[in-house]
Amino acid sequence: MDPALSTDVPTGRAVAYVFDGLTRFTPDAKVVPGLAKSWDVSPDGITYTFHLRTGVKFHDGEPFGAKTVIYSFQRVLDPKTKGGRGWPLYPIKGAEDFAAGKATDFPGIAAPNDSTVVFTLKEPLAIFPKLLAMPVTSMVPSQATDLGQKPIGTGPWKFVEWKHDDYLRFAKNPDYFDGAPKADSLMARIIPEMSTATAEFEAGNVDVLTVPDEAGKSWQADPEKSKLLQSAPALRFWYVAINVTRGPLADPRVRQALNYAVDVNTILNVVMAGRGTAAAGVVPPSLPGYDANRKGYTHDVAKAKQLLAAAGHPNGIDVELWAATTDQSPRLSQAIQANLAEAGIRAKIVQRDASSVREAARKGASDLYVKEWWADYPDAENFLFPLLHSKNKGPGGNVSFYANPKFDALVDQAHREQDEAKRNSLYTQADQLQFDDAPMIYLFFYKDMYAVQPWIHAFQVPAVFNGQRWTDVTIGK
Amino acid sequence: MFAFIVRRLLLAIPTLFGVLIVVFLLLYVAPGDPVQEMVGERADPETIARLRKELHLDEPLLNQFTHYTGGVLRGDFGNSYITQRPIIQDIRERFPKTLLLAGSAMLLASVLGITLGVLSARNPGGWFDRLGLGVAYLGISFPVYWVGLILILVFAVMLRWLPPSGYGGIKYLILPALALGSRSIAFLARVTRSAMLEVLGGDYVRTARAKGLKERVVIVRHALRNALIPIITVLGLDFGYYLTGSILTETIFSWPGLGRYVVNAITRRDLPAIQGSVLFLSVVFVLVNLLTDLAYAKADPRVAYS
């Protein structure tokens, strides 16, 4: 549970219980002050000054101050930490050289006094405060020796015990600076098999459960169970990455044909029990930059065939459709395969374990790759930049290997733009540009569904994975 | 006897070395990259290259192998790529739980399976025999994960007698042990039955009956004892099945044992964790085989090792 090593969603959630960053997310994905009371940006967008809370102590009594910020960030980047997740701090001047072991200090961070931290960025980056709410940028005490097993933070929950592969237990931090949690303790059960987790919920042993996709429909139809359901759009995006460098897929007409061939709404209803909203672009409807006027590719087999013929493939094409064996990937890939076949696109499904599929896709060895993207922070940039910017080809997240200088320029410009409205308009333009180029089959934005026992109050489904910290939740009839 | 044990233990060394080589090569050629698992969904090539170097993954296969084997010989199984905790510590924490589960399943299987087999053999073709046959067919045919889910549904969700999953006192142990042992119960019942039938036709059983011994004494002291060899064989072989079956059982019942640890390690390509666990399980397997052989000698005085 060491924040510096956290790369997956469950760890990220637990980190948000015990630790604080300078900023944090609310369940509805707003960025609010965390350990920083407020922050100012210089007019050129290069210098960020964070005013820290005073009098905050870690669970072990160590005081939090500006030095903690410097220590925590150096620790994340330090090659000795062997963490692979330093990128949210790379915008800070000198951070990348420090992480590569080329420098022993990085000049972009300074502490003029114990309650102020000043960051100098390489170039203006309006989303910088959002990056500081990620698990990896949490504040850690300098005295702690084993954060992985015994995490110590400033957060609302104190770590009590971790029975590996069984559960994690936390107790409320009565001194939490933002008001102590209303419940006394919090337990996260680790149950790998969803049917078992569902049985635990039905037996009343689990208070809040993420409802598995396959159970969604039957629970919604059950008059008793449907009362317990809560759902909200999540910042999770399902799509099929199209490798634009491979054979016929280099032609945008072919990629558009793929989009016309797939019947997203039917797939959404049948495979996903209606849990999602069909996508028209990569920016989700809940984020600024989304364009409500843009219509997605309709399901139009004739049009798909026509586009294929125009691209010189009247007899269709052969592609490999890669999918992991986990989640809904196998079922989605089968549905997509059947849709594509109607339009004369012969897709061969290649099913491997998640790790192998990802490796192949990052190397550029897959034609099509059914995948999901979980946002790290609530911003259109977190979809446009990692998934489609040419800088991020391969391991960076752009497994479509899409490279469009115009698109890159728009996203780069948005990075530097300080004006919120202008920035969002750049996002909308960039999204439109790539949507026409179709470097992916746009499937849907996922909707999280939770089952909540009647005795649990004030639970809110978080839009971003680490947005629910259980501080307002109460237990009682 | 002592010389036999020493010889067998010495023979185990090349076996384990073979396991080491096979596991190492398999993981080397298997797709999937541990470093990509470490860095998560969004990473830059420089970080990946740096981590690869730190973990010696950029070196030739032979160097990696000698590096790892050297560690193992010094008793160091390395640290997990993901948690950076020593593997040996992880195994020490989880193996007792797997052993408890496997041991309970084995106990349950021996008691139920042998009893069922003996009672079936007493009156072959009778109603109990036919019932036993039915139970055995079900036990052998149903896969462990299906049995597990049905047990959870019936005893935890519908009847609410036992908790559905987790680790704790004896009530947490019953369902997973039953699920894991179900196939073994069936198998043992069949083997015991046929071994008993063969033995019960023997001259000495007729003699025992003729001299007026009670039927219970005839069966338990004279017949069962002589039917033990095939039963021990099955128990010994089944232990391997318990270790692999525990992977599914532990996942279904959220049992925090070594089986789940291995699965997690494989999905995340945590190479030292996979290699360490497999090597450790091989050692256990070798030891169990040795114990089985020693048990033969105990059950049948004619078997002597020297």
E strand or H helix at A69: helix A66-77
Q: How many whole angstroms separate alpha carbon A371 and alpha carbon A155?
A: 33
Mean pLDDT of B144-153: 90
- Closest residue of A to B83, CA-based? A148
Contact B198, B121 (CB under 8 A): no
**331-370 in chain A: CB under 8 A from chain B:** 352-356, 358-360, 362
**Tokens describing residue A361:** 């896709």
Q: How far apart are CA A427 and CA A435, in angstroms?
A: 12
Q: Is the pLDDT of residue B245 over 80?
A: no
Q: What is the 3-state secondary structure (H, E, C) of A346-398?
A: EEEEEEECHHHHHHHHHHCCCCEEEEEEECCCCCCHHHHHHHHCHHHEHHHCE
CA distance B81 to chain A (A): 9
- Cα–Cα distance, B253 to A104 (Å, whole number): 48
Tell me if A191 and B254 make a contact (CB, 8 A cut-off).
Answer: yes
What pTM did the predictor assign? 0.87
Task: Render A95-113 in DSSP notation, one character per residue.
Answer: HHHHHTTS-SS-TTEEEEE
Number of residues that this document lists for chain A: 477
List A residues 57-96 in contact with B (Cβ-Cβ < 8 A): 79, 82, 84-87, 90, 96
Q: Closest Cα partner for A166 from A188, A195, A193, A199?
A: A188
Q: Which of B110, B102, B17, B1 lies closest to B65 in space, CA to CA?
A: B17
Q: How crowded is the C-beta side of A60, counted as CA atoms within 13 Å? A: 15
Question: What is the bridge-based pairing of β-strands A317-324 and A345-352?
Answer: parallel
Provide the token pair at B232: 């021990």
Token reading at A10: 């469950």
Distances (CA, A) of A247 to A310, A320, A369, B7: 16, 12, 15, 61
Q: Give the gap in angstroms from C-alpha A124 to the nearest C-alpha of chain B.
A: 20
Chain A CB contacts of B30 under 8 Å are 356
- ipTM for the assembly: 0.80
The band of B306, judged by pLDDT with boundaries at 50, 70 and 90, is low
A109 vs A68: CA distance, rounded Å: 12
d(CA A242, CA A234): 23
Residues with Cβ < 8 Å from B154, sequence gap 6 or more? none
Q: Which of residues 241-280 of A touch B (CB under 8 A)?
A: none
Tell me which residue has tokens 């586009």.
Answer: A307
Q: Indicate yes or no: CB of B43 within 8 angstroms of CB of A358.
A: no
Interchain CB distance below 8 Å, A355 and B82: no
Which residues in chain B have Cβ-Cβ distances shorter than 8 Å to A15? none
Interface residue of A322, A355, A356, A371 to substitute, partner B, most B CBs within 10 Å? A355
From the list B33, B167, B251, which residue is nearest A359 (CB)? B33
Closest chain B residue by Cα to residue A324 = B267
Give the position of tokens 């931090």: A173
Q: Is A10 on the interface with B (CB under 8 A)?
A: no
Contacts of A395 in chain B (CB under 8 A): 36, 39, 42-45, 48
- Chains A, B: CB pairs < 8 Å: 139
Residue B50 to residue A359, Cβ atoms within 8 A? no
CA–CA dist A242, A438 (Å, integer): 8
Interface-testing mutation among B36, B47, B97, with chain A (most A C-beta atoms within 10 A): B47
Q: Are A237 and A446 in contact (CB under 8 A)?
A: yes
Q: Which residues of chain A have pLDDT under 50?
A: none
How do A368-374 and A317-324 pair as beta strands? parallel
Contacts (Cβ under 8 Å, ≥6 apart) of A86: A76, A77, A95, A99, A136, B47
Q: What is the pLDDT of residue A330?
A: 93
Q: How far is B275 from chain A (nearest CA, A)?
A: 17
**Single-letter code of the amino acid located at B19:** V
The residues, ordered by sequence, that sit 6+ positions from B130 with a Cβ below 8 Å of its Cβ are none
Q: In this complex, do B254 and A8 lie within 8 Å of one another by their Cβ atoms?
A: no
List CB contacts (< 8 A) between A362 and chain B.
Answer: 36
Chain B hits for A99, CB-CB cut-off 8 Å, are 47
C-alpha angle B274-B279-B284 in degrees, rounded to nearest 5 = 125
Give the pLDDT of residue A105. Answer: 84
B149, B166, B268 ranked by CB distance to A195: nearest: B149
Which of B29, B42, B145 should one mutate to test binding to chain A, selecting the residue with the greatest count of A CBs within 10 A? B42
Residues 143-162 of A with CB under 8 A from B: 148-149
CB contacts, 8 Å: B268 with chain A: 355
Closest CB from A79, A166, A397 relative to B166 = A166
Cα–Cα–Cα angle for A325, A329, A334, rounded to 5 degrees = 105
Asked if the model's pLDDT at residue B281 lies above 70, the reply is yes
- The amino acid that residue B132 corresponds to is G
Q: B256, A166: Cβ pair inside 8 Å?
A: yes
pLDDT of residue A477: 65
Of A196, A214, A218, residue with least CA distance to A205? A196
Flag whether pLDDT at B121 surpasses 70: yes
A84/B84 CB distance under 8 A: no
* Residue among A412, A413, A415, A391 nearest A402 (CA): A391
Tell me whether B209 touches chain A (CB under 8 Å).
no
pLDDT single digits (tens) B50-67: 888 888 888 888 888 888
Task: Search chain B and give the residue with CA nearest A147.
Answer: B83
Give the pair of three-digit tokens for residue B235.
């128990």
A204, exposed or middle or buried, with CB in 10 Å at 0-12, 13-18, 19+? exposed
DSSP secondary structure, B214-238, as one string: -HHHIIIIIIIHHHHHHHHHHHHHH
pLDDT, mean of residues B122-146 = 86
Residues B32, A189: C-beta atoms closer than 8 Å:
no
Given an 8 Å threshold on Cβ–Cβ distance, is A355 in contact with B32? yes
Taking only residues 138 to 177 of chain B, the set having a beta carbon closer than 8 angstroms to any beta carbon of chain A reads: 149, 152-153, 156-157, 160, 163-167
Q: What residue of B is the nearest CA neighbor of A383? A: B42
Provide the residue count of chain B: 306
Amino acid at A253: R
Q: Do B93 and A148 touch (CB under 8 A)?
A: no
Q: Which amino acid is at B169?
A: G
Collapsing DSSP states into helix, strand and coil, what is residue A452? strand
Q: What share of chain A is helix, strand, coil (3-state, %, to 5)?
A: 35, 25, 40
The answer to whether A173 and B127 are in contact (CB under 8 A) is: no
Test B166 with A189 for CB contact under 8 angstroms: yes
